Structure 1
Amino acid sequence: MGFFNKKTTWSNVEFIPLKLCIASAYSLIGAYFSTYVLEHKAIFIGIFAIMVAVSMYLWVTKMKKQNL
């Protein structure tokens, strides 16, 4: 349970996948209000899924490096 209590430092470059993940999630939420975004929903879902995987990979590898 101490996994969420660990502290890490991130550079701005390392935050790019996380920011893209959050931005694509907001775009999906906005899809309910815009037909243009609905037409490209599959692209946003794909970007979201890829960025979640990349963000989690970066987070886990950073946690492992700090705990060695």
Structure 2
Amino acid sequence: MWVATMGEKTIKTTNLPDAENVVVSKQYIGGSLFKSQNGTIWTPSQFQDLAFKLRKAEFIESGTTTF
């Protein structure tokens, strides 16, 4: 996970053509990212969003399992 900041270049976009020139220009989903230094006081960040890469697993239903 990392933070994407509006107006800055993206990272980890090697699979996109022209990846070095991709700039974050809009929010993926509306809302604010809230950050805290101590877990008590939360501050909204209007120009940052949480960025992540989601991977999924595929499981085979038939077969045997060995431990």
- TM-score, normalised with respect to structure 1: 0.21
Higher percent of residues as helix:
1
Per residue, is there more strand in 1 or in 2?
A: 2
Q: Which has the larger radius of gyration?
A: 2
Q: Which has the higher contact order (CA 8 A, sep 6+)?
A: 1
